[in-house]
Amino acid sequence: MPKRFSSVVSRSFGDGVRDAIQSTGMTQRRIAELLGWEQAKVSDLVKGKGGVTEVELAMLLGLCNVKPDEARRLLALYNESREKGYLEFAEDGVLSPQPTLMEQERHANNIVVWSLNLIPGLLQIDAYIRAACERSVLGADPLVVEAVIKTKLARQAVFHRSREFVFYIHEHALRLPVGGEEVMKAQLLHLLTMTVRPYLAVRIVPIAVGAHAGVAGSFTRLRYEKFEPVIFVEGGRTGLFLEDKDSVTYYDAVVERLDQLALDEEESKALITSIVS
């Protein structure tokens, strides 16, 4: 069966509407009855298909007592749901692209991560996250640092045998001293521990290869059983989700080149072990 196009925006919109309905304790059937709709209309909404006017959506959100910030977010997603690609700004906090990424990771069955400068977020321990945040422009606000740690650790709940993960990591990320010697040792040992999982592979791109296809920056490729693939590129305060065919083809080629250059899994473990020692 061919994969159908379902954008990041439409899936995020559908998930948000589903959460809003579930928060009421009512069924979709009951919500439809109260609004005077057919149940299929509500069903289409939670699948991200739209099928309502902006006024009708506002009625549903009001019935569900959705808070103003979340209502504005869902209305914005509704208005962008036909776009193939999504640039999300951290307008109301530095973490706003992360929840959207977490939603998409839960939908995906194959996740490939390329990380150029740091240990990938999905593999970071709390002390490493804290050290990286405190040295960034976020470090001046302890509440923001704690929020980053909480969100990034929660994101790691995505690990499950139902999904496949491949992490391509540049050797530079292993050697960059984040948080000092003890933090780095704990982080690298955690990395080795994670490689025991049969559904997860860690591949190191050694410094010795020189210039390579991934020098433009880190990214995540998400593949789905039912939907077309998505590329996520994270900025300091933005999250860019790319879904057009040309972009996906380009990043597929980058992954292919990284696969050719990277050490195999056993060689990668050996390199990490040598750095820890």
**Is residue 92 predicted with pLDDT exceeding 80?**
no
How many Cβ atoms are within 10 Å of 101's Cβ, its own excluded? 21
Same domain, 66 and 121: no
Q: Is 257 exposed, middle or buried (0-12, 13-18, 19+ CB in 10 A)?
A: middle
Instruction: Look at residues 45, 80, 115 and tell me which one is the last residue of a structural domain.
Output: 80
Report the domain count for the chain: 2
Chosen domain end from 33, 51, 80: 80
Q: What is the dihedral of CA 215, 220, 223, 229, to 10 degrees?
A: -70
Last residue of a domain, one of 80, 107, 134: 80
102 & 45 share domain: no
- Label residue 1 by pLDDT band (50, 70, 90): very low
DSSP one-letter code for 178: S
Is residue 167 within 8 Å of residue 214, measured between CB atoms? no
Residue 2 has pLDDT above 50, yes or no: no
Residue 242 lies in a domain: yes
- Mean pLDDT of the chain, nearest integer: 90
The reply to whether 139 and 165 lie within a common domain is: yes
User: Are 127 and 39 within one domain?
Assistant: no
User: Domain span at residue 139?
Assistant: 86-276
Instruction: Name the phi and psi angles at 168, rounded to 5.
Output: -95, 120
- Residue 48 and residue 165 in one domain: no
Same domain, residue pair 22 and 120: no
Which residues neighbour 184 within 8 Å (Cβ) at sequence distance 6 or greater?
128, 177, 178
- Residue in the block written with tokens 């080629």: 253
